[in-house]
Amino acid sequence: MNPLKKHPFITWFATNPVVANILMLTILAAGIYTAGTIRKEGFPAFAAESVTVRVPIRGGTPEDVERGVSIKIEESIAKAVKDAEEAHALYRSDLAHYHRLVEEHAEKFHLILDKHDLGITESAWQKAEDEERSVGMVLLMEGADGVRSPGELQEWFDGGVRILGPAWAATRYAGGTGEPGPLTDLGRDLLDAMADVGMILDLAHLAEEGAVEALDLFPGPILVSHTSPLALVPSAEKPERHITDLVIRRTADREGVIGLVLGNRFLKDGWEPSQGREIVTLADVATGIDYICQILGDAAHVGIGSDFDGGFGLDKVPQGLDSVADLRLIGETLGARGYNKEDIEAILGGNWLRFLRRALPEN
């Protein structure tokens, strides 16, 4: 029996050229909104059958994002976010944008807030024609700058935020990309508050010391939305941005899922734009996925964490991924490496779906 036939919803996603992975993974990318310390320019516009997400936010250029903000975080905050109140206002504005998107285009978008919503989405996708499918969005806050205090997390949860990452660059809660460090005392309070309200923790952008402490302290569901193995890019300019073998194992021990970033610098050590995208291929994507699978001994804890809304364009993604519709080609590449259909199904979306079924609140 073909294992894919047991899961018609995921079968449709894994084989249909229309961009449908938003429920599983792109929801985690499109749902991310940041503190205004960077400007995110979406993946280039594609044909009509694809979806383009653009999130304009004040801050550095795409080049800044690509290499990590090149000025000290204190200077960046001074320029883009004067204080926690301003960050809070920017985050609230971004959250309002997603609610307007749902209100004004209810036939195309809806928020997934709990297990019930997820079940309705799965059922609808199995029954509807391509053009009738509504994209479900699970909102993820990347960097907690806009959370003025842990005590207001209930307000964000009530507003629809279900996943929170304490850091992008360093925040009041934890060290981050470009300025690694542990959790702060306030960060530990934040984890307690997240557990109390039922939020999911995202370890992306945390350095190993912060991630390990978070794994020790946080009792709730944990994921790493977008990263790549440090072992494959040992000369990375900002090694703290990548996941260590220890954190890979510890995340899997907690039944978490790790999303692989599809940016070339995350896939091939020492890659520079001057080398061209041609030297990074779908084989490198498969290598990143396979590395995690080999460490863990299974394919149950890795998925696609494209980060296609993360400030890099077509020239900085692997050859062969010319639009998000091409994500399905990753499955063909894994198949050529000997992965069976059931594991490919899991990697292309099944693992994220399983995680959400477990981690989202009951109602």
Q: Supply the pLDDT for residue 119.
A: 95
Q: Which residues are within 8 A (CB) of 138 and not within 5 positions of it... i.e. 6 or more apart?
A: 27, 28, 31, 111, 112, 162, 163, 356, 360
Class of the CATH domain delimited by 3-359? alpha beta
What phi, psi does 235 have (nearest 5°)?
A: -95, 15
Q: Supply the pLDDT for residue 96.
A: 96
* Other C-beta atoms lying within 10 Å of the C-beta of residue 117: 18
| pLDDT by residue, tens only, the chain of 363 residues | 333 344 444 444 444 433 333 344 444 433 333 333 333 333 333 333 333 333 333 344 444 444 443 334 344 444 444 578 888 999 999 999 999 999 999 999 999 999 999 999 999 888 877 667 889 999 999 999 999 999 999 999 999 999 999 999 999 999 999 999 999 999 999 999 999 999 999 999 999 999 999 999 999 999 999 999 999 999 999 999 999 999 999 999 999 999 999 999 999 999 999 999 999 999 999 999 999 999 999 999 999 999 987 767 899 999 999 988 899 999 999 999 999 999 999 999 999 999 999 999 998
Q: Supply the pLDDT for residue 129.
A: 74
Q: Which two tokens stand for residue 149?
A: 């205090």
Rounded alpha-carbon distances, angstroms, from residue 63 to 51, 234, 302: 23, 21, 28
Q: Supply the pLDDT for residue 334.
A: 98
Asked if 138 and 163 count as a contact pair (C-beta separation under 8 A), the reply is yes
Rounded alpha-carbon distances, angstroms, from residue 187 to 34, 56, 119, 217: 17, 27, 33, 11
Smallest CA-to-CA distance from 15 within 337, 335, 358, 355 is with 335
Whole-model pTM: value is 0.80
* Other C-beta atoms lying within 10 Å of the C-beta of residue 195: 15
The DSSP-derived string for 96-135 is HHHHHHHHHTTTTEEE--SHHHHHHHHHHHHHS-GGGPPE
